[in-house]
Amino acid sequence: MKLMTTVLGLIVLLLGCATGSSPEEKKANANKETAAALQNIYQEHAEARRAVSASLGYLVCTGNDNYLFAASTGGGVCTLRSKGVVEYYRFATLGAGLGLGFKKVAFLYTFHDAKAMKRFREEGWDAGARAEASARYEEDGGQVAANTSYDVGGVKVFQVALWGAAAQATVQGYKFWATDFTSDVM
């Protein structure tokens, strides 16, 4: 478990967002990046705005996914907003399957069940299977199954590809952990 956390941490150091020279700058950049990501999600998923309004809290993440043959990695930054409070998270992803490519992604988790939100805060794990092909450069490019949404266990999830190109069929796990950015290198 400790090795897995170390590997995931290294991935985030290499690929993570929310740069800055102080925790305050990193928080400001995380807020800016996730606010922009949320607007992209709203544009692609009409029901996302309603899901946020009806939720107990919502997590917005932005980061990178990399696919190289049998492995996939990625990481980024998230903000969790609930009852007027903002919490900051990092995430890392590791997967297995077939794939090739790189893309910047954004995703939204809306929590509609208090137990689901508590489980997220305490455990910080999510896993899923994915098969998709996507290509996007700024506003150009098409996507097939890259903009997905699903509802499981009191959590609605929405995802969009912001840019990049990838084709993959993978099983991926996500690890989230709270941060105040004081010990982040990025």
pLDDT tens column, 77-88: 999 999 999 999
Helices (H), ranges, the chain: 2-15, 23-44, 48-53, 114-123
DSSP 108: E
Q: Which residue has the tokens 């996939």?
A: 72
pLDDT, position 65:
76
pLDDT, position 141:
44
Asked if the structure places residue 21 within a domain, the reply is: yes
Asked if the structure places residue 186 within a domain, the reply is: no
Query: 128 lies in which domain range?
Result: 2-179
Give me the residues of the chain with pLDDT under 70, please. 1-19, 126-152, 165-168, 170, 184-186
Q: Which of 150, 139, 171, 175 is nearest to 61 (CA)?
A: 175
Asked if the structure places residue 6 within a domain, the reply is: yes
pLDDT digit string (tens) for 116-141? 899 889 888 765 544 444 444 455 44
pLDDT, position 69:
73
pLDDT, position 17:
52
pLDDT, position 146:
47
Asked if the structure places residue 82 within a domain, the reply is: yes
Asked if the structure places residue 184 within a domain, the reply is: no
pLDDT, position 47:
93
Query: Structurally, how many domains does the chain consist of?
Result: 1
Measure the CA–CA gap between 51 and 62, rounded to whole angstroms: 18
Cα 153 to chain centroid distance, Å, stands at: 18
Asked if the structure places residue 88 within a domain, the reply is: yes
Query: Under the phi-then-psi rule, with left for phi > 0, alpha for psi from -120 to 50, and beta for the rest, what region is 84?
Result: left
Asked if the structure places residue 109 within a domain, the reply is: yes
